[in-house]
Amino acid sequence: MGCFNYKGGRIYHGHVIDVLQSLPAESVNCVITSPPYWNLRDYGTEDQVWGGNPDCPHRWEVYRKTKVSQGYSDKSTLGGFTNPETKGREMAKGETPRESYFCPCGAWKGEFGQEPSFELYVKHSVLIFNEVQRVLRKDGTLWLNLGDTFHNANLVGIPWRVAFALQEQGWILRSDIIWHKNGMPEAVKNRPTKAHEYLYLLAKSPQYYYGFEDVKEKAVYPAGTRAAKGSATRAGVKGVNARPPECAIYSGLRNLRDVWSIHTEPTPEAHYATFPEKLVEPCVKAGCPLGGVILDPFAGTGTVGRVARKHGREFIGIELNLESVKIAANRLDRVTAVEEGLLDQEGLLV
């Protein structure tokens, strides 16, 4: 386990569960993360041991995923099976899936997200977020982004399976937020093109921090509607229904809704799509007070950390891919350089 320290936080390099177990209980205010999706991508990291008997010396038996049907037309049923040579894209027909291993004690050795069954992926997700629950303060929240996939022509329902499994572990499921995004084109003719993912808000206890004033959005009403006329009079415009001066002035804002239309953002240093900063911003503002600590147990290239630092929060990241850790550290150092006036907002020397 290694650690990269920088102004305003640190990033750990190591197995997510090992690092989480090393953190003090109730030490972070908020967790914002997007774990690897099931059977979507191979990140080229070393296999890690999951579950089983920790005292077992492990006798590994190879398990090879069954290749998908060659005749089915829906490309998404490939499930994104990949190997290190095809990192970052779906597996083509005829390629060999990445191997994983089982021990008779029940342990599995492989990369999280590459489990041979969605049931095992959900089980491993529970192991991770049980540790997350321990390090989260009693008034803390978890903002969890998950995407879905198809397997044998069926939509698996991974996000909801994980959410319900966490609910059974004591998490309070408060909101299912729809992230409406610019979806990739799909050559399918028997279902709609997918253009959304889920972002779940989960709380550790019934009384939790939620900065609703910090995430209010502009209230926009169609012209000519009753709501539009009412908002205008409340804002001080004279009319038949105008309110007296002593009434509170209408702010033009409303509570944050649970459908967010946000486009994905490319990260030049990364070879795969990353968490867009605009998706992270409301989670940071609503989920963590100024000066609080935000944790991302799947930090990737550090997007959550960048947003946290820009909005005055501390950050702890965990990432297994050393290349991504180095990219994240550089990106976070640039945020510090901007704060200190060494770079402008575009990352250019001042």
For residues 10 and 79, state if they share a domain.
Answer: yes
For residues 250 and 331, state if they share a domain.
Answer: no
For residues 222 and 334, state if they share a domain.
Answer: no
Q: Compute the distance between CA of residue 181 and CA of residue 178 in angstroms, rounded to an integer.
A: 9
Q: How many CB atoms sit inside 10 A of residue 44's CB?
A: 16
Element (H, E) at 271: none
**How do residues 107-165 score in pLDDT, each as one tens digit?**
999 999 999 999 999 999 999 999 999 999 999 999 999 999 988 889 999 999 999 99
Residue in this structure with the two tokens 């291993």, named with its chain if needed: 101
228 part of a folded domain: yes
315 part of a folded domain: yes
For residues 138 and 283, state if they share a domain.
Answer: yes
344 part of a folded domain: no
For residues 280 and 316, state if they share a domain.
Answer: yes
For residues 124 and 231, state if they share a domain.
Answer: no
- Angstrom distances, CA of residue 257 to CA of 67, 121, 177, 195, 261: 41, 30, 8, 18, 11
What would the DSSP string read from start to end of 15-31?
Answer: -HHHHHHHSPTT-EEEE
Q: Return the exposure string of 116-143: e unless at least 16 CB atoms fall within 10 Å of the residue's CB, then b.
A: bebebbbebbeebbebbbebbbebbbbb
For residues 56 and 108, state if they share a domain.
Answer: yes
Q: Is 113 exposed, middle or buried, given 0-12, 13-18 or 19+ CB atoms closer than 10 A?
A: buried
For residues 331 and 191, state if they share a domain.
Answer: yes
Last residue of a domain, one of 254, 283, 311: 254
Q: Compute the distance between CA of residue 194 and CA of residue 204 in angstroms, rounded to an integer.
A: 31
Its domain, for residue 285, covers 2-209+257-339
At a CB cut-off of 8 Å and minimum separation 6, what does 294 contact? Answer: 28, 29, 30, 31, 32, 284, 287, 288, 304, 305, 308, 313, 314, 315, 316
Residue in this structure with the two tokens 């959005």, named with its chain if needed: 217
Q: Return the exposure string of 213-236: e unless at least 16 CB atoms fall within 10 Å of the residue's CB, then b.
A: ebbeeeeeeeeeeeeebebbbbee
**How do residues 275-289 score in pLDDT, each as one tens digit?**
899 999 999 999 999
318 part of a folded domain: yes
Task: Enter the tokens of residue 285.
Answer: 């503002």
H-type alpha helices, 82-217: 118-135, 158-168
H-type alpha helices, the chain: 16-22, 118-135, 158-168, 226-234, 277-287, 303-310, 322-339
346 part of a folded domain: no
Per DSSP bridges, beta strands 293-296 and 314-319 are parallel
- Mean pLDDT, consecutive 10-residue stretches, the chain (350 aa), reads 77 95 97 93 87 92 55 30 34 54 93 93 97 98 95 93 98 97 80 92 98 90 56 50 47 90 76 79 98 96 93 95 88 72 46
For residues 77 and 222, state if they share a domain.
Answer: no
pTM over 0.75: yes
pLDDT exceeding 70 applies to what percent of the chain?
Answer: 74
For residues 236 and 269, state if they share a domain.
Answer: no
For residues 91 and 135, state if they share a domain.
Answer: yes
Q: Compute the distance between CA of residue 58 and CA of residue 325 in angstroms, rounded to an integer.
A: 29
Identity of the residue numbered 146:
L
CATH of the domain at 202: 3.40.50.150
The residue length of the chain stands at 350
pLDDT of residue 293: 97
Q: Compute the distance between CA of residue 77 and CA of residue 58 in angstroms, rounded to an integer.
A: 33
Q: Compute the distance between CA of residue 164 and CA of residue 145 in angstroms, rounded to an integer.
A: 14
Q: Compute the distance between CA of residue 345 and CA of residue 15 in angstroms, rounded to an integer.
A: 33
348 part of a folded domain: no
DSSP 265: B
74 part of a folded domain: yes
pLDDT of residue 309: 92
345 part of a folded domain: no
Count structural domains, the chain: 2
For residues 228 and 335, state if they share a domain.
Answer: no
